[in-house]
A and B are shown apart, each in its own frame.
Chain A
């Protein structure tokens, strides 16, 4: 019977090279805190992108409120520090767990909804948390936020922690998608009623997907708190800057692909920075106000021409280039 051995986790040569390359990357920019900082953000977005992609891309539950889990992770790290001076570093342990618990509780509500209604439900949960954390000052210090003096000045330790977490998030998604649970996630994405008729406990598997997804979102939030040293509700529960960017990363990189979120994070942070800094100060200042517009155009372009995202439609892109090369050589 054991003629077909399915390994729990297979890491290809290319993937090892990418991991190694990512580990070398900060040393190439040893003289620029700015770029090292961007690299750290890319890793954080990889975590969030993976988190969203498992739930939305693979399980078909499109969340518009991932900021809720990111924020709760950040506050799970920050609140014990604020009230009891417990180091926020412990947040890396319980930030994810707090998000899982919140995800389970919110899941009781939002999993009753399907399709666009699910998206709207999650959108609402994110916004509700933002408002609650802004108003309940006795608990959260409200809009004043929570401040923490970061542990290191050097970016290297933060980068390697973020890189390790990002790699773990990629591998965890990869591992789950190789298992029976992954098979069930895909079935639920394709047709929830048909999945139930095949004996799949859709509620249970949606919750499993939610738990893994929220764990990484919460961990990313806790990391953000530790790295930035400051959070307030408007930042970590932000609809546009967290929830929507997370979705864009998934869509641009390739929904339902293992490496899509990583590529999406790379592209998004680059584009965001390009416009935020007005093309590194070369363009007039008002260009920096355009980044939301550019995101919109980017998404429209991707949806129109690459509906599978950069990775999902890689063949299409490759063919385009081959085609234009042939055109050039023939002319």
Chain B
């Protein structure tokens, strides 16, 4: 059963076609990868799903409900959590308060919100820095805080926008582990945008590739990686994919 469906999603900025009739469907319980070169419209699609941008044409369905014209906060309350590529920590609040702000989406009491925050902090390996100001976290922590904030809203679907970018190899493995656990242990469907092949190829059940705002391929990681269009437009013609698939 599909949890999120995009139908002919289109977004234009003036004369620029940022997203060009993109359609795909994310099944419940899968990790779905969205890839494409820089500027191909991945983040724009996220911003359309969350209604930071208004859709020019097409429709977005979440669990059968048309959310195309719902407000950002309503979409979050329906159960779509998201992280930002350019991280947005609530800088002058503590890490715990950041997560609690998210937890209040479903909790009404402080005790309840704090309990949810506690679980999420532990899950994201942030409980030992929970009293730090979010603005003073290093980038690895900030990326995990993004995930923690989104998880605290108890989403059914989480949109991860390059949560592994800028991490060192150790942090990268930690991030992959967390993302895997989000689906396996929490049962949350994951829609992930990522440039790092190691992350996207090892995690995704299916991948949707776009270039210049339009769909070029969809399938399993192996299928997509072998697709000549993808290799040409995204990876470059001299890029050896096999190394990454076997890694």
Contacts and interface: CB of A to CB of B under 8 A. Distances in A.
B198 interface: no
Contacts of B110: 4, 6, 180
A230 B81 CA distance: 55
A293 to B, nearest CB: 32
Interface stretch (A34-42, A199-207, A282-290): A199-207
Contacts of A200: 73, 76, 101, 104-105
A199 B152 CA distance: 11
Interface stretch (A78-86, A90-98, A108-116, A187-195): A187-195
A186 interface: yes
Contacts of B89: 190-191, 194
A197 B90 contact: no
Contacts of B112: 1
Contacts of B82: 197
Contacts of A327: none
Given A183-B100, A183-B101, A198 B93 contact: no
A187 B152 CA distance: 14
Nearest to A201: B73
Contacts of B102: 198-199
A183 B104 contact: yes
Contacts of A202: 73
A199 B153 contact: yes
Contacts of A190: 89-93
A3 B111 CA distance: 8
Contact of A199 (B73, B97, B108, B111): B73
A239 B205 CA distance: 61
A197 B84 contact: yes
Contacts of B100: 183
A180 B91 CA distance: 18
Contacts of B114: 4
A196 interface: yes
A2 interface: yes
Contacts of B77: 199
A195 B111 contact: no
Interface residues of B, number: 32
A2 B90 contact: no
B122 interface: no
B71 interface: yes
B143 interface: no
Contacts of A197: 50, 72, 76, 81-82, 84, 88, 149-150
A259 interface: no
A196 B70 CA distance: 12
A199 B105 contact: yes
Interface string A209-247: 000000000000000000000000000000000000000
B108 A180 contact: yes
B92 A4 contact: no
Nearest to A187: B101
B90 A194 contact: yes
A187 B72 CA distance: 15
A257 B174 CA distance: 38
Contacts of B153: 198-199
A184 B93 CA distance: 11
B52 interface: yes
A176 to B, nearest CB: 14
A193 B100 CA distance: 17
A9 to B, nearest CB: 14
A198 B76 contact: yes
Interface in A81-132: none
Interface in B141-186: 149-150, 152-153
Interface in B78-137: 81-82, 84, 88-93, 97, 100-102, 104-105, 108-112, 114
A201 B90 contact: no
B178 to A, nearest CB: 19
B88 A180 contact: no
B90 A186 contact: yes
A4 B93 contact: no
Given A4-B114, A183-B97, A196-B76, A191 B88 contact: yes
Given A183-B104, A190-B92, A196 B73 contact: yes
Interface of A: 1-4, 6, 180, 183-184, 186-187, 190-191, 193-202
6 contacts: A3-B111, A191-B89, A194-B88, A194-B149, A197-B150, A199-B102
The 8 A-B pairs of least Cβ separation, nearest first, read A199-B105, A199-B76, A190-B90, A194-B88, A196-B72, A4-B111, A198-B102, A187-B101
Interface of B: 50, 52, 71-73, 76-77, 81-82, 84, 88-93, 97, 100-102, 104-105, 108-112, 114, 149-150, 152-153
Given A190-B93, A198-B150, 9 more contacts: A180-B108, A183-B104, A187-B90, A191-B88, A197-B149, A198-B73, A198-B104, A199-B105, A200-B101
